[in-house]
Amino acid sequence: MPAQPNTFFRKVLADQQYERGRDLEGQGYWEQALLCYRRACGLDRASPLFLLARGRVCQEHGLQPEAAECYEAVLRLQPNDVVALYNQAQLLAAGGDLEQARANLEVILAGDVELLGERAAPVFCRLGDLALRREDYLAAAAYFRRALEASPGHAYAAASAGALERLAEFEQPVAPDGRIVPKVALYAYAGAMLLGMPGDNGIDIPITPGLGFDSLTEVAQTLARLVALARHLGWRVDAVVALDPEGQPLAVALAHALDARVAFTAESAPRGAAALGVTATAGQPAQLQAQVETLQSRTRQTLLYAAGLRRPVWEYRPWPHVVSMPVRLEFPWNRGEASAPEHAEAYGAELAALLAEIQEDGTLRAQLAWYARHPNLGIDLAATAVSGGRE
């Protein structure tokens, strides 16, 4: 029997709302996109596609009860829907129901895993995460290995497999909600030091969605922790190299503080130098990787510093050695201003002057004590990580 006209037009309108929602979401307007997805679901209540889109947006933006309703509705329509099972497992795990979350994931893998191909990797990773929350490191290692078998280049699986030995150094490293505090996470997944920013003690660093600097003084106070560490450990740097335009003022200020030359691009770094590579927000991982590889090809030793990280640390290659905060940071200058040499030098000179006046804030001793207990870093604090001195 042909569809009734009213039903047909409702489905057409639902499709239009869904496509509109996708467009809005792509532009970053998630609230308006969610309204469209809700309308699409109201017009066509039997569409898993619309329900999954609505549930995903709710899940990403803290509307967990509505997301749960969407996934339950999908599973009533399609009990073995892989996406709904996986997303629902994430919600269950966040709510502390680890066994039901694991059961969901096992249902996904109960079929032919080969048919899933690389899509099996995230499922094995989530099982690995659940094992970590139980501190079952042998099971976690097995799951992350399976993830890498399914997708050899899976960055999170590789970083997680490498993090297990470091995580085992801590008692209950994973919180009940599945989070790992930033200090432990940066150390575990990248062997990196996390120094924090003004307002924290360098150890209990808060998990925040994003931070902006209100003044150049705050930027200088943040850089001061790196400078104090470098001086204490005797890091002698020939050149400080900006790895992105926004990091150029930072490079100018740090070069002045460390008595080094400044280079505004990796291509202009002096050959054979011991270099400190600096990025402001570690933008696109692929672009940053290209800059780092260029820098490493020109220098004999390279230390990598990221003031902030726009993406999770495991998405970068190579990983930074020292980080101030694992989130995107907003600076008093913008990318366009920083890319102009005269502006970068002006901001950098002002930062250098402020940095010269700042006293060590008392966090260095605590940092060194913390990392002395957890020495499995990507840099050796017992020796000079970057050496050579200016010639």
The predicted-structure confidence for 98-137, as pLDDT tens digits, reads as follows: 999 999 999 999 877 888 889 999 999 999 999 999 999 9
Q: Which CATH class is domain 5-166?
A: mainly alpha
Instruction: Tell me the average confidence (pLDDT) per consecutive run of 10 residues in the chain, 391 residues long.
Output: 64 92 92 95 93 96 95 95 95 92 94 85 96 94 96 95 95 88 96 94 83 89 96 92 94 96 94 95 92 95 94 94 93 74 87 93 93 90 46 31
Do the beta carbons of residue 319 and residue 163 sit within 8 Å? no
Q: What is the pLDDT of residue 385?
A: 44
Cα dihedral 150, 155, 157, 161 sign? positive
- In angstroms, rounded to a whole number, what is the distance separating the alpha carbons of residues 67 and 56? 7
Using alpha carbons, list the distances in angstroms from residue 352 to 203, 314, 326, 359, 377. Answer: 26, 31, 24, 13, 29
* Domains of the chain by residue range: 5-166, 188-373
pLDDT of residue 383: 52
| pLDDT for the residue 379 | 85
Predicted pLDDT of residue 283: 86
Please give the Cα distance from 355 to 350 (Å, whole number): 9
User: What is the CATH T-level fold of the domain 188-373, as seen in this structure?
Assistant: Rossmann fold (3.40.50)
Query: Do you find a cis peptide bond into 320, omega within 30 degrees of 0?
Result: no
Q: Which of 294, 274, 283 is nearest to 316 (CA)?
A: 283
Q: Report residue 349: phi and psi, to 5°.
A: -65, -40
| The predicted structure's pLDDT at residue 93 | 92
Angle at 358 between CA 355 and CA 360, to 5 degrees: 120
Per-residue HEC secondary structure of the chain comes to CCCCHHHHHHHHHHHHHHHHHHHHHHCCCHHHHHHHHHHHHHHCCCCHHHHHHHHHHHHHCCCHHHHHHHHHHHHHHCCCCHHHHHHHHHHHHHCCCHHHHHHHHHHHHCCCHHHHHHHHHHHHHHHHHHHHHCCCHHHHHHHHHHHHHHCCCCHHHHHHHHHHHHHCCCCCCCCCCCCCCHHHHHHHHHCCEECCCCCCCCCCCCCCCCEECCCHHHHHHHHHHHHHHHHHHCCCCCEEEECCHHHHHHHHHHHHHCCCEEECCHHHCCCCCEEEEEECCCCCHHHHHHHHHHHHHHCCEEEEEECCCCCCHHHCCCCCCEECCCCCEECCCCHHHHHCHHHHHHHHHHHHHHHHHCCCCCCHHHHHHHHHHCCCCCCCCCCCCCCCCCC
Tokens 């047909």 label which residue?
8
pTM: 0.86
